């Protein structure tokens, strides 16, 4: 082979190496993205499960005193009962939002009962559930951001070619419903 | 065929391929950062995470060799020579630190980390061999004060007389050996990259409970290690100190701390107690709480450390800035590929000429 031929072969070889690297790196990056989404979802699921376990304790702790607030307690119990780890992500998002709204309503009502609010176990439970609510909100944000990065990536070149080849589609967001954005209706009048 | 051109062409091929290989690494790093969402520290879970926040010192800090700046990481280098530079000093060290965002703080153990920190100080000696502005060689201990405010104030107010480091130093000579620094005979180039308290960093690595860290003491320090006794500069310094009668025995210099096992493990003999010593006063409640916070990490507290399957990357700046740097390096790598191809073609032309002649 002539030196010119060897140089041409070297150039083509280097070009192939660059293209192969970009394809492989893109494939690995999308796989890593999908795994990160799965992990982010698993972390939300852990927090949802913890909240699911804590809610009955809170309802039990306040039920004795809040005879006149059965509707709020029923709302919390209903929302909790709707939790299903096997459901699709958008359904779980709706359930989670409804639970958060019910819990916020319960906390708002608890504020009107000083004897309940000052009970040590209620305070501890309220603190723990507020922590879990914050955790769920943070992890939902992280999950959605990860999904956004994934969906954006697989819609762009060169990942769009790899995604088409492997049948990778966009992932669903853990979206907050309108109910989640509505502030709970509360009255300042005691017992209302 | 001009042998010099041939060397340049071969160098172009090798250098270009090396740049491309480095660019590949940067591409993966950039993808790793851009594809990972930034976690809020208060809500991180075990596993690979990316956090970004402000650096806060932990138990101790470092003093950088070239500018004597308080930092948690430095990479310093001195090169000598005008045309052919040779490295006469190179040191890299890091100590554990905290990263704080608006939600909380996280302890980072830097052992095994890859640091992406551009130089803050990049200067050379002047035409007459004068030291560059900003060069302030370290003359005291390599470790600085930690978070303790009083210690920081005391360190700030301590006056270090010129040449007070090693025996035989003068104002223009640092710890880097006889006449290496400040000499007008050879030009020098100084380069130092640092992460200082207050800097914004992006850290990507594995979050794990503190009690799962196999060796916290080792993981907390990235140290160049003790200077080798074979080092001719150190040997010369030791000989000088011995001749001047200023070399102390370890026990004279360090007291009970020189007893093997005194720091870690069990001392091999009883310490010598000073009869005249008085018991130190107990810490106040505030001080005790601060020390507890500084030195005690709960077993369940999540920390960031390097793991075999998840390398630890510490980059200065926000994630977008760190990813931008890595992407630029990838483009430089692509440029390297172009240089390699051009050099290969030039080489082919030269070899073809050589053969046809």
- pLDDT score for B264: 64
The yes-or-no verdict on residue A108 having pLDDT over 70 is yes
Residues of A in contact with B43 (CB under 8 A): 134-135, 138-139, 142
Poorest-pLDDT segment among A165-169, B72-76, B114-118: A165-169
Q: How confident is the model at residue A177 (pLDDT cuts 50, 70, 90)?
A: low
Give the gap in angstroms from C-alpha A127 to the nearest C-alpha of chain B.
15
Q: Do A25 and B17 touch (CB under 8 A)?
A: no
Query: Average of pLDDT values for B1-7?
Result: 80
Residue of A nearest to B37 (CA): A146
Identify the sign of the CA torsion A52, A58, A60, A66: negative
B331 touches A at CB < 8 Å: no
Which helix (DSSP H) or strand (DSSP E) does residue B80 occupy? strand B73-80
Q: Do B40 and A138 touch (CB under 8 A)?
A: yes
- Residue A116 has what DSSP assignment? H
Q: Do B43 and A139 touch (CB under 8 A)?
A: yes
B10 touches A at CB < 8 Å: no
- Lookup result for tokens 């280097």: A14
Q: What is the pLDDT of residues A3-27, one digit of tens each?
A: 778 888 888 898 899 899 988 998 9
Q: Is B99:B111 a contact under the CB 8 Å cutoff?
A: no
Q: What is the pLDDT of residues B122-156, one digit of tens each?
A: 998 887 778 888 888 888 778 876 666 666 677 66
> Around B71, how many Cα atoms within 13 Å sit in the side-chain half-sphere?
27
B279 touches A at CB < 8 Å: no
Give the gap in angstroms from C-alpha B352 to the nearest C-alpha of chain A.
6
The yes-or-no verdict on residue B97 having pLDDT over 80 is yes
* Best-predicted range by mean pLDDT (A31-40, A76-85, A116-125): A31-40
Q: State the alpha helices, DSSP H only, in chain A.
A: 3-63, 70-81, 89-110, 114-117, 120-154, 159-166, 178-181
The yes-or-no verdict on residue B292 having pLDDT over 80 is no
Q: Do A3 and B351 touch (CB under 8 A)?
A: yes
Poorest-pLDDT segment among A29-38, B58-67, B180-189, B227-236: B180-189
Q: How far is the C-alpha of B301 from the C-alpha of B280, rounded, in Å?
A: 31
Q: Do B43 and A135 touch (CB under 8 A)?
A: yes
For an interface test with B, which of A6, A10, A150 has the most B Cβ atoms less than 10 Å from its Cβ? A10
- Lookup result for tokens 């100590």: B95
Q: Are strands B105-109 and B97-100 parallel, antiparallel or unpaired?
A: antiparallel
User: Nearest-CA neighbor of B55 among B70, B65, B44, B76?
Assistant: B70
B179 touches A at CB < 8 Å: no
A1 touches B at CB < 8 Å: no
Poorest-pLDDT segment among A53-67, A74-88, B236-250, B324-338: A53-67
Give the gap in angstroms from C-alpha B50 to the nearest C-alpha of chain A.
11
Higher pLDDT, B112 or B162: B112
First to last CA, chain A: 94
Burial class (CB within 10 angstroms; exposed 0-12, middle 13-18, buried 19+) of B342: middle
Give the gap in angstroms from C-alpha A113 to the nearest C-alpha of chain B.
31
The yes-or-no verdict on residue B111 having pLDDT over 80 is yes
Q: What is the pTM of this model?
A: 0.72
* CA angle A144–A148–A153, rounded 5-degree value: 150
Q: How far is the C-alpha of B117 from the C-alpha of A142, rounded, in Å?
A: 27
Q: How confident is the model at residue A125 (pLDDT cuts 50, 70, 90)?
A: confident
Q: Do B348 and A3 touch (CB under 8 A)?
A: yes
B323 touches A at CB < 8 Å: no
Q: Residue A138 is nearest to which of B35, B43, B351, comparing CB atoms?
A: B43
């Amino acid at each position: 082979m002539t030196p010119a031929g060897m140089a041409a072969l070297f150039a083509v070889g280097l070009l192939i190496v660059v293209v192969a690297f970009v394809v492989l790196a893109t494939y690995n990056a999308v796989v890593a993205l999908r795994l990160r989404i799965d992990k982010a979802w698993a972390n939300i699921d852990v927090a949802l499960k913890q909240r699911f376990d804590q809610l009955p304790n809170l309802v039990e702790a306040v039920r004795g005193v809040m005879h006149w607030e059965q509707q709020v307690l029923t709302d919390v119990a209903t929302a909790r009962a709707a939790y299903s780890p096997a459901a699709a992500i958008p359904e779980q998002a709706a359930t989670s939002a409804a639970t958060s709204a019910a819990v916020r309503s319960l906390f708002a009502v608890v504020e009107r009962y000083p004897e309940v609010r000052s009970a040590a176990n209620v305070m501890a439970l309220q603190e723990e559930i507020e922590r879990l609510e914050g955790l769920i909100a943070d992890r939902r944000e992280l999950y959605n951001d990860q999904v956004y990065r994934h969906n954006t990536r697989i819609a762009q070149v060169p990942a769009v070619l790899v995604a088409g080849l492997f049948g990778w589609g966009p992932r669903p967001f853990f979206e907050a419903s309108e109910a989640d954005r509505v502030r709970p209706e509360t009255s300042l009048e005691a017992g209302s | 065929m001009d042998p010099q051109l041939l060397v340049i062409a071969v160098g172009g091929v090798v250098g270009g391929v090396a740049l491309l290989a480095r660019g590949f690494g940067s591409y993966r790093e950039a993808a790793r950062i851009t594809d990972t969402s930034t976690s809020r520290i208060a809500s991180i879970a075990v596993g690979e995470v990316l956090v970004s926040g402000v650096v806060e010192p932990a138990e101790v800090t470092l003093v950088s060799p070239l500018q004597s700046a308080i930092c948690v990481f430095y990479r310093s280098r001195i090169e000598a020579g005008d045309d052919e530079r040779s490295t006469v000093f190179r040191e890299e060290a890091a100590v554990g630190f905290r990263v704080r965002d608006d939600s909380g703080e996280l302890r980072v153990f830097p052992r095994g980390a890859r640091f992406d920190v551009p130089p803050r100080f990049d200067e050379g000696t002047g035409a007459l061999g004068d030291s560059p502005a900003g060069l302030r060689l370290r003359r005291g201990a390599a470790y600085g004060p930690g978070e303790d405010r009083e210690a920081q104030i005391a360190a700030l107010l301590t006056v270090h007389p010129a040449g007070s480091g090693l025996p035989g130093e003068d104002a223009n000579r640092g710890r880097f050996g006889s006449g290496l620094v400040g000499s007008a005979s050879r030009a020098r180039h100084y380069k130092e990259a640092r992460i200082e308290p207050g800097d914004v960093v992006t850290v990507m690595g594995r979050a794990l409970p503190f009690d799962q860290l196999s060796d916290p003491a080792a993981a907390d320090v990235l140290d160049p290690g003790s200077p080798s006794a074979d080092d001719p500069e150190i040997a010369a310094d030791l000989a000088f100190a011995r001749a001047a009668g200023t070399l102390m025995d370890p026990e004279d210099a360090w007291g009970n701390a020189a007893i093997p096992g005194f720091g870690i493990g069990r001392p091999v003999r009883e310490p010598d107690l000073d009869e005249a010593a008085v018991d130190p006063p107990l810490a106040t409640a505030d001080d005790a709480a601060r020390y507890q916070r500084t030195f005690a990490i709960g077993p369940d507290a999540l920390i960031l450390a390097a793991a075999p399957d998840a390398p630890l990357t510490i980059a200065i700046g926000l994630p977008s800035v760190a990813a931008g740097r890595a992407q630029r390096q990838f483009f430089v790598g692509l440029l390297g590929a172009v240089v390699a191809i051009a050099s290969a073609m030039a080489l082919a032309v030269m070899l073809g000429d050589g053969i046809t002649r």
